[in-house]
Each structure stands twice: as C-alpha cells, then as structure tokens.
Amino acid sequence: MKIIVTGGLGFIGSQMIRWALDTVPDVQIINVDSLTYAGNPANVAGYSEDPRYRWEAVSITDHDALEPLFADRSVDAVINFAAESHVDRSIMSGAPFVTTNVLGTQILLELARKYHVPRFLHVSTDEVYGSLGATGLFSETTPLNPNSPYSASKAAADMLVLAAFRTHQQDVVITRCSNNYGPYQFPEKLIPLFVTNGLEGQPWPLYGDGLNVRDWLHVSDHVRAIWMVLTEGHRGEIYNIGGHNEQSNRAVAEELQRILGLPSSVMVAVKDRLGHDRRYAIDSQKITKELGWEPLIPWQEGLRQTVSWYQTHQNWWKAIKSGSYRDYYAHQYGACNL
C-alpha cells in the first residue's frame, strides 16, 4: 500500500509514519513536508533509512512539484496532516494558515482526483465546531462555527473536502480529533511548553482563569484511529475522535506539577488568548460503533510517559528552544512579564 503522508515531519504525522512502518509490513510512504518551523527530520530518526520511506521537501501548495509524485497512478491513499497548526500564531498572522490549510488541501484534492487515488483522508480538528458551554458534546452533525483564523482555515478545508465528494464523488474521509499530547510535540503547545519550561526552571503562562477545557487524547490513539478510518471508514463520512478526557488547563497544570514535583507558584496567570474557546468535548460514538475504535492509553499514565520522554530527550527540545523559536516566545509571552 503506497501512501502520500503530508506533514510527516510534524508531531502527529511523524507518529503516523513511525507507527505505520512498525506495524504495516507492505506500506510504502512518501512524506511530503516542506519543513516549516514545526517540521523536524529528527522526528523520524531511525526510520528515514527504511527503503519503504522517502521524504519529499515540497509544499502542498506547490502543484507542479507535487504532480510527479501522483503521476504514475500508483498511490493508494493520501493522508493530509500538513497544516499551520498553532492557534496563537494564527492570531498573529492568519495568511499562512489560509495558504497551507485551505489552498494546499484543494491542490492535493485535485491531484488525487486527477490521478485516481482511491482514498483521501483529511485530518481535521474538533476546533472547527467552535466553543461549547458547560454541557454538551460535539457530534459529526454539529454545525461548523470556528472562532480563530486557524480553526476557520481548517473548517474551510473540510468544506472543500466535502465538496469534492458531493461534486465529483471523490472518495474522501475526514477525521476531527480533540487535543493530542505525547512525544515529539512542538514546545509551543500547552503540555510540552509547560513540561520543558518546568525542566528549565521557567514559569508556566496560564491564559486567563485557567478554566478553559480541552479533551486530551494520546497521539498514538489518534493515529490508530486514523488508520482505521483510512482502511475501513465509509466514503464521504466524517469521524470524530476524542479521549473522553475533559480537563481544565489548570487541572492539566496541577497534574504536571505533581509529576514534576514543582510548587504551585510555577503557574503564572497571564492575559487571555484572544477569542479563547471555552470548552471542547467530543462525542466519538460513531467511530466506536462503526469501526470499533476506543482510546487505549489512560490519561495519567500517558502524561507520565510523556513527561518522561521530555526528560530523556532534552537534546530534541533544547535544539528547538534555542533556535528561532526564541523570537516567537519573546513576542508571545514578553508582554506577560514572564
């Protein structure tokens, strides 16, 4: 089975590649990743010499560079992970989000259609549904109501994927997952930011009152679900993926404090994210009933393993934090007096 995986040098895409090469003997992977700030070849270290794997440093917005990868008609599936993925960055500048997440997805869809790729799996997010109040869950039929430039660009991409199904009967499937955590997550996101700041003796910037809620899922549970949808999901369908694991940001921070043995003073209240979605929570009954998927990694165990990974892989994140990421961090948190 020959698959084009886009964004395979990022957090979730690299987990997908490592899992597939470990688990699926006849898989062949072309990793299309243009290596933005979030991509890192070290995320597939130990796998890049595998003859079943190759990396193409191409943007999903570059139609002409992509076309030869599709032209021999031997590709069985596309899994589209490539995206600008960080909400705070989209608040600073939304244009790259529109270019990659919207235009890039449409270009991939058109090439997959032209060269008769049998399946196109688009990796989306629960953020397209907007924000919940204190109760309720997002189901696949919840209307799209995105609030940030990031989530608006993801929602636009979802609509283009569904349009390809309705207009051309193209075989597409969409997954919408809740917040992921695990190894190799870029340290701009909540959990790796707090863990690595904790290991460096730096404070934890908790936005607003710290009571915004996310539904956390281990990244390995997410990629298992994606594989099930790829191989068994029904064309034209959307599958929500969630962890049944709602946590406020303050509760996440308190759990990390316990694991790392840090005092509560490590948390510093900073100004809130603009347009900060209050609560996400996923109803994932459909994927469970239709495909038999369930999360396997318990939250506290997964979080401990994740902290341990960051403790034993300091070279990985220190290389990131000592580079151009420092400019982003200074810009994002400088005004917060950290």
Residues designated catalytic: 126-127, 150
Query: Which amino acid is residue 31, in one-letter code?
Result: N
Q: How far is the CB of 320 from ligand TDX (least distance, A)?
A: 14
Q: Considering only residues 144-203, where is the footprint of ligand NAD by CB under 6 A?
A: 154, 177, 179-180, 186
The β-bridge partners of 175 are 123, 239
Question: What does the DSSP assignment read for 146-181?
Answer: --SHHHHHHHHHHHHHHHHHHHH---EEEEEE--EE
Which partner, ligand NAD, ligand TDX, none, binds residue 13 by CB below 5 to 8 Å per kind? ligand NAD
Contacting residues toward ligand TDX, per CB under 6 A: 85-87, 125, 127, 179, 189-190, 193, 205-207, 212, 214, 249, 273
Q: For ligand NAD, which stretch binds (CB under 6 A), given 2-10, 130-138, 248-256, 273-281? A: 2-10
- What proportions of the chain, in percent to the nearest 5, are helix, strand and coil? 45, 15, 35
Do 70 and 115 form a contact (C-beta atoms < 8 A)? yes
Q: How far is CA 123 from the centre of its chain?
A: 8
Pick one of ligand NAD, ligand TDX, none as the site partner of residue 193 (Cβ within 5 to 8 A by kind): ligand TDX
Which segment (26-34, 163-171, 199-207, 245-253) binds ligand NAD by CB under 6 A? Answer: 26-34
Which one of the spans 58-66, 204-212, 271-279, 283-291 is the region binding ligand NAD (CB under 6 A)? 58-66
Interatomic CA distance for residues 311 and 190, integer angstroms: 16
Query: Comparing C-alpha atoms, which of 141, 63, 144, 73 is closest to residue 109?
Result: 63
CB nearer ligand NAD, residue 53 or residue 186 = 186
Report if residue 59 touches ligand NAD, rule: CB under 6 A.
yes
Task: Kindly report the number of other CB atoms within 10 A of residue 172's CB atom.
Answer: 28
Write out the residues near ligand NAD by the rule CB under 6 A.
6-7, 9-13, 32-36, 38-39, 59-61, 81-85, 100, 104, 123, 125, 154, 177, 179-180, 186
